[in-house]
A and B are shown apart, each in its own frame.
Chain A
Amino acid sequence: MNQQFFVFLKALLGSCKDLLPIILVIAFFQFAVLQQPMPNVGDILVGLALVVLGLTFFIYGLEMGLFPIGESMAQAFAKKGSVSWLLTFAFCLGFGTTVAEPSLIAVAKEAAIVAASGGIISDTLESQLSYANGLRFTVAFAVGFAIVIGVLRILRGWPIQYLILGGYIIVVLMTLIAPSWIIGIAYDSGGVTTSTITVPLVTALGVGLASAIKGRNPMIDGFGLIAFASLTPIIFVMIYGMVIG
């Protein structure tokens, strides 16, 4: 018990260190550049304490829960030897975690407003909603697809750079032909897809798979799933823009 407390205390100290740069930046700009007093100091102190505690709990739980479950499932699938079930799981994980992602919902809603004001879709709430939902499902499908491709890559041992390079070429070519109003949203949608809980889980899955399969190096083959998940949405959203427009 005592030892556990010690570990927790160390994690707490680490979180304080992680947060220090933000505090320094904000203090510097507030006092030295903008030259204004700090508003609601009490609120800010409480907030900072919450952030430090939260980060500590998160990292603590990460190593207790998220990493082990990701790796044990990867190993169980590798032992079972059923590629189709593994790929189904990969797709569900990608699609399921993305479709409900709050930052994606927010971006899709904003994108619908942009499209309506630009005259791409009619300016009714209904068409905006269907546009936003279409965008959401497109991105979620793209992420599911990405994890499937990434898992296939780990199984087959394909080198990652050619796949990513191919993806880049597709993105560049699509940028030339896609309608210009979709491009900014498409590029951004690659960044917003991977949430704080998905990333550790998917990383553990990739590393677990690569260590369970003979001849794969967890360093070279285990990472890279998230790279696909941030590339395919760009392509799929541009396709969506071309279909709608």
Chain B
Amino acid sequence: MDLFFEFLNTLKNTVVDVLPIISIILGFQLLVIRKPIPHVKQVGFGFIYVLIGLTLFLLGLEKALFPLGKMMAEQLTAPEFIHAGEQVLASIHWSDYMWVYVFAAAIGFSTTIAEPSLIAVAIKAEEVSGGAINANSLRISVAIGVAVGIAVGSYRIVVGHPIHYYIIAGYIIVVIQTFFCPKLIVPLAYDSGGVTTSTVTVPLVAALGLGLASTIPGRSPLIDGFGLIAFASLFPIIAVMAYAQITEAKTKRVEKKLEIRNKNKLTKRNLKHKQQDFLTESKEDR
């Protein structure tokens, strides 16, 4: 019974969140476009499903994952665990926190795989690219990006470097990659930075940052606790572009082999066709 009331309460909050979106859509549809919504019944049910789904999802997170994840973040960063009974030293060494980095990377990866908005973008990307971009590969690349990002971000909190050096270095890498990676992936890669950090990742990552910043001497939870999210939205851009670059390089190598083998058989037209389909090609190859 308690669960049911919690469900209603969460549902109410979700509906309140969605209300502005629905009113904007309805307002513009009725007043500006002035046409009935196509398939109105189906769309309506779709919205109801989304609302119910999001509510159950949030409720489940609150019940199971958040308390456990937060507790683990606290325990892993607690001085008793780090120093395991030894005398707490005045100065800390970054390698004492090895398990924290591993946890940061693992939790970053696994929460990103379950992130609903990333699933949405990945589905759309696969659909639009006609299957050239595989939804699961895209999600795994983004998740690797988040994992590396949060691990590096935790390292930064431990050593206490200023955040903007890291972010600016990341920007420089993004800019260089942009010039060398396939043009098709660039907008999607930029987008993947923003979609990673929503419902699942943010609360857990925030707990980790806060735990780290409040237990390490000399760090302020108010200043150093923030900033992990910024890392989590920068590194996926790099990871997705790297994914496209690796796929492209692999395809080129395969093509070279093919070229040598069928030197005379392969017409020029075929080759051009192959190059266009390089993403599909490498997928089959794998």
Contact = CB atoms under 8 A, between A and B. Distances in A.
A203 B76 contact: no
Interface in B54-89: 54-65, 68-69, 71-72, 75-76, 81
Contacts of A229: 194
B85 to A, nearest CB: 14
Given A100-B20, A102-B17, A59 B53 contact: yes
A37 interface: no
A181 B51 CA distance: 37
B24 to A, nearest CB: 5
A66 B47 contact: yes
A207 B186 CA distance: 15
Contacts of A194: 117, 194-195, 198
Contacts of B106: 25, 28-29
Counting chain A CB atoms within 10 Å of each CB, the highest count among B37, B128, B199 belongs to: B128
A165 B50 contact: no
Interface in A140-182: 160-161, 164-165, 168, 171-172, 175, 181
A46 to B, nearest CB: 6
Contacts of A230: 193-194, 233
Contacts of B60: 46-54
A160 B187 contact: yes
B29 interface: yes
Contact of A220 (B29, B38, B119, B183): B183
Contacts of B57: 50-51, 54-55, 58
Contact of A46 (B20, B42, B64, B119): B64
Contacts of B28: 73, 85, 89, 92
Contacts of B3: 46
Interface in A57-106: 57-69, 72-73, 76-77, 80, 85, 89, 92-93, 96-97, 99-103
Decide if the interface of chain A is mainly helix, strand, loop or mixed.
helix
B208 to A, nearest CB: 12
A197 B21 contact: yes
Contacts of B167: 187
A26 B229 contact: no
B49 A227 contact: no
A69 B37 CA distance: 8
A108 interface: no
A100 B16 contact: yes
B266 interface: no
A102 B54 CA distance: 14
Interface stretch (B220-228, B248-256, B257-265, B267-275): B220-228
A225 interface: yes
Counting chain B CB atoms within 10 Å of each CB, the highest count among A18, A43, A51 belongs to: A51
Contacts of B120: 59, 62, 66, 199-200, 203
B60 to A, nearest CB: 3
A160 to B, nearest CB: 5
A67 B181 CA distance: 29
Nearest to B171: A168
A73 B29 contact: yes
B186 A160 contact: yes
Contacts of A117: 222
Given A29-B76, A43-B63, A168-B175, A191 B21 contact: no
B164 interface: yes
Given A61-B53, A195-B198, A21 B46 contact: no
Contact of B17 (A55, A58, A195): A195
A74 to B, nearest CB: 11
A61 B171 contact: no
Nearest to B66: A47
Interface string B164-185: 1001100100110010000110
A210 to B, nearest CB: 9
B154 interface: no
Contacts of A235: none
A69 B229 contact: no
Given A50-B57, A207-B128, 18 more contacts: A21-B114, A25-B107, A29-B72, A50-B60, A51-B57, A55-B114, A58-B50, A61-B51, A65-B46, A85-B28, A100-B20, A188-B227, A191-B229, A200-B124, A203-B121, A223-B188, A224-B191, A226-B194
Instruction: Report the 6 A-B pairs with minimum CB-CB distance, sorted nearest first.
Output: A65-B46, A47-B64, A61-B49, A54-B57, A57-B53, A50-B60
8 contacts: A26-B69, A47-B59, A50-B59, A58-B57, A64-B46, A65-B47, A183-B163, A188-B227
